[in-house]
Structure 1
């Protein structure tokens, strides 16, 4: 290799007579090809005479190492290796010599002499041994692989970044999938609750019609019993009537709860102070809970007003208190807390049912009872679901609370774990007006019979219920007209017959509801007064769970005394 520094690279043997020598054209061609290959591959050629400790380097090798000149000593070459790699390279060489390895390959860093730059070198070498397996010569090439190393580092960093992004995206997808599963399950639950609500609402409507007839008939029997001569038969009839009436009233309570769950009960909301409401029922709660359950109230100062039906809210708190008492058979503690709260977008976004973000009044009822496991908690609001023994609960308490709160544009949340007690939080929207000083109109339930002589038009599509209503009103002394539909009622009014009061069902067949009938009737007779009745509503006179302004309503089923009182009250009201 005439291009090497310090003479040729032979192994000590002179070329024979048949070999090409330095002056031969084939020798020169080989040298030229070697030089081209060295330049094309950017290879630095290296020859190390091991026993002598001398090294011969090609010009390209010197260029790779940034050497202007070289003294030919092995130690001088070794000094070019980056100091942190020198020991490792020496150990690789020694290990190869000891093992009698034919090849010696290594990667290491050098400090380039010309500019001090740190460069990566890949070395590929062949080791020659004598007949006693002692290393004599190492011949090989060095190539600068710094750019490849940098590319590999960048590729590794990119790969790691990509892997991290993939992992991060995978986590995001898993989170999104879990959230979607949760949302879908919540939506299915909400749809199920809505479907059950529609079903129970329809059933409750039909039952309320039937119960009005049953209760009215039993009350009519009761009014006739005093006219019978005293006899064992009369006593038995009176006792049977009382038991039947008790059963009917229990059925009335059941349908009322069904309507509450289905969000089809007409509400009479008012601006109210939840602190005053809770304080006002504390004595009743203590009697209900018994001595074994301690009651504590934590009422927030400066509590906002809310807008809700006070009677229904009291019922909701009482229902939850009774549930809490039953969950603490050995006694415990019930805490009722109020607070001002803000439901943010993140919170309401996780709720399947539509809930507006904003300011709410929170009423929390917490007990130290048995608590609920997850499967029980998931079904807690479903109607007729109960963990109580047969005969000890209808399974409508929590569903009634759920329906009332949702109908009031609020939100209800249960927190519970088995053995850790239960907390039910009711959120009702903040009201910015003033507190109402009067409660909604109460319906007297006394025995006073408010009689009259006015003319009343009864509109009811159920024949039996219409018959009961008209007979009751005639018994009270009123002149009664009747109609089975809105069309018949308008025909009666069209005959120029004076009517003082229109008593009409809200939900009727034929496409015209009670409100539409009342509007047309009032147009024909401006001084006409109206009293509605319904087992449930379909937004005819109730919107967003609230009675429209100026609407007067008696809910089904109604008793004889309730009917008498509400009719008289409506007739006596000023225009």
Structure 2
């Protein structure tokens, strides 16, 4: 406990206490103007901030501190008008010192009203230099009554004094507004009543006074408690008040409610974190898409050569089994690249109107057989459910992935509940990127499994993240579903609680009435094609050779070019080319650019674009037939027949 001998402590009046209070405030420039804005008082803090002596500035208009642009825009008078009409003006902006330099200031202007006549006496103005947080001492050069009016008129800051023991000795309107106590309720009480119970238990109030007494000043941010029990984030400054002889007279305390500013800063930090995560996923998506593209080239070579070998080798069961195993391994690679492209949102989607209840019913047998006998699947679909806009094959794969994850979370069996109902985008909150306005169908798959903690849930959709152990999962299942939902204009939302279970919500946009329901397509029979002269273009030599062998095996003649420029040269020397099959992603000149130049030479030349993922095409290139890698010989037969018919 800080002690002061009452026999030696000087007796000071209430007005002197107010003067000492203002004299002790070293972090704010506080001065007054008359109703027209003419400066009537000037303190040392203002002199330090702005560079003017009292004799230079008294009688001058306060607008001289504003920049030329602000004066031209009428900002000084608007500030006074706002203070009168709204009871207070607060703002930040550039101000000008005497030497012409600029400083960024936080300004509060309060009108001073005579309580009896309601006459406007002038304005109390508080300025804080935010350019340099180390403020000099502020000495107010006003009459005792002016100091009282000034302090009592400030409502944005709680300004009050404490005796050496921490008892409140006066109370301004700002303190009443921020903390909720009337002067009679606060004066005489110990200031620790404003602290939280945990801070009082930790000795924070006494520590603050000890630091202020020993170092002259204490500053900190922390939670404080209002009279109604609610908490607010406060910025607190406590300055020690000493007499000329160094005797501790008490403390000047300024508190500001910074709850809104703190919440805004937290929101900004969350937005930055969300942006970082988005940029991270975008970079990983680009990398994943590029890897998948290269894998598709390799798989095209492998599958193509396996097909040719199978056709030409003798019929031996052991060799056939080896080829079957190799083909199955390559097809598993195709499935992996599809998941990678789904995460990167680069797979080619065929959007159509899909009835979710019919789709789930159609794959119910596959789902149940995949889940095993210990898993019970239950469905609940709202009546007259609107169709969604989706790719049927990719959506089936997504549902299977989510159901498989649910099964793996219940190693001892359990129930998987599949539900669907119509929802609005406004019903989803807390997303880093909000859903586009409109109607959605929420397809929810819920399990009764182990659930996920917050750390696991935060990483669940990251590519290659898995909790299934080495060799038991690629870590791309949820990434694929996430990428598919985003590409369709929807969202994958995971909700989970440890030891309770997980719900995966797949939000898909409702299909417009203009989108017709598309029945399952059956592959069209390729018409027979006579011998063609085909120009094949690909910058990957392995793909180029494999494609040539497969086309030659179909009875066609083939010319090969490893680049767009060489393809143009070959075409100039061979005007009898019937068909061009070109890779889309090539350096210097891509497939679309090559197709445009070839069409300028021969407008009706059949051209097929081969692609490892769904690149964005423009102009006439969007109408060209596309051959998706990895492709097999039957795919070549099909697309050549359709293109040449």
TM over 0.5: yes
Structure with bigger RCO (C-alpha 8 Å, 6+ apart) = 1
Deviation at 1:235, TM superposition (A): 4.9
Change (3 A) 1:465 1:314: same
Residue deviations 1:499-550, cap 9 Å, x none?
433212111111x3222322333343333333221112442369xxxx9863
The offset of 1:420, in angstroms, is 1.3
Structure 2: how far apart are the matches of 1:439 and 1:197? 32
1:507·1:514 contact (CA, 8 Å) conserved in 2? Answer: yes
Aligned to 1:311: 393
Q: Tell me if 1:471 matches 2:549.
A: yes
Change (3 A) 1:520 1:275: farther
Paired residue for 2:303? 215
Aligned match of 2:177 in 147, 158, 161?
Answer: 161
Is 1:519 aligned to residue 596 of structure 2? yes
Aligned to 1:498: 576
Q: Note the C-alpha offset of 1:441.
A: 5.5
Which residue of the partner structure matches residue 566 of structure 1?
A: 639
The one of 314, 317, 331 aligned to 1:226? 314
Match in the other structure for 1:193: 281
What is the 5 A alignment of 1:135-534?
155-163=171-179, 167=232, 169-226=257-314, 235-344=317-426, 347=428, 350-353=430-433, 355-439=435-519, 452-495=530-573, 497-510=575-588, 512-534=589-611
8 Å CA contact retained: 1:449, 1:561: no
Helix, strand or coil at the partner of 2:464: coil
Q: In the TM superposition, what whole-angstrom CA distance separates every residue of 1:165-221 from its partner, at most 9, and x where no partner exists?
A: 993753334433443333333222222211111111111111111111122222222
SS in 1 for 2:232: helix
Q: Quote the Cα distance in structure 1 between the aligned partners of 2:285 and 2:518.
A: 32
Q: Distance in 1 between matches of 2:582 and 2:576?
A: 16
**Structure 1 residues 293 and 342: alpha-carbon distance in aligned structure 2, compared to 1, 3 A threshold:** same
Q: Is the 8 A contact 1:273 1:435 kept in 2?
A: no
Alpha-carbon spacing, 1:481–1:200, altered in 2? closer, same or farther (3 Å) = same
- Computed over aligned residues only, the root mean square deviation of the Cα atoms, in angstroms, reads 3.1
My pick for the range that moved more, 431-440 or 248-257, is 431-440
Partner of 1:556: 629
| Secondary structure of 1:490 counterpart | helix
Report the 3-state secondary structure (helix = DSSP H, G, I; strand = E; otherwise coil) of the residue aligned with 2:365.
helix
In structure 2, the CA distance between the partners of 1:516 and 1:301, relative to structure 1 (3 Å rule), is farther
| Structure 1 residues 275 and 529: CA distance shift in structure 2, 3 A | farther
Unpaired segments of 5 or more residues in structure 2?
Answer: 1-147, 154-159, 161-168, 181-225, 234-256
Stretches of structure 1 that go unaligned for 5 or more consecutive residues are 1-146, 228-233
Deviations 1:294-339 (A, max 9, x none): 2122222233333221111111111101111111121111122222
SS class of match (1:167): strand
Any idea what the Cα deviations from partners look like across 1:392-448, whole Å, max 9, x if unmatched?
A: 21111001111111112221110001111111111122321344343575668x9x9
Question: Distance in 2 between the 1:380 and 1:394 partners?
Answer: 12
Q: What number of residue pairs does the alignment pair up? A: 410
Give the 3 Å change call, closer, same or farther, for CA 548–460 of structure 1 in structure 2.
closer
Structure 2 counterpart SS, 1:322:
helix
What do residues 547-572 of structure 1 show as CA deviations (whole Å, max 9, x unaligned)?
98634322211122222223223323
Q: Provide TM-score, normalisation by structure 2.
A: 0.58
Aligned partners of 1:443 and 1:352: how far apart in 2? Answer: 41
Q: Per the alignment, do residues 267 and 288 of structure 1 end up closer, same or farther by CA in structure 2, a change over 3 Å counting?
A: same
Contact kept, 8 Å, 1:451 with 1:478, in 2: the verdict is no
Q: What is the distance in 1 between the residues matched to 2:468 and 2:445?
A: 20
Query: Quick one: structure 1 residues 217 and 295, their matched pair in 2 at CA, closer, same or farther if it must change by over 3 Å?
Result: same
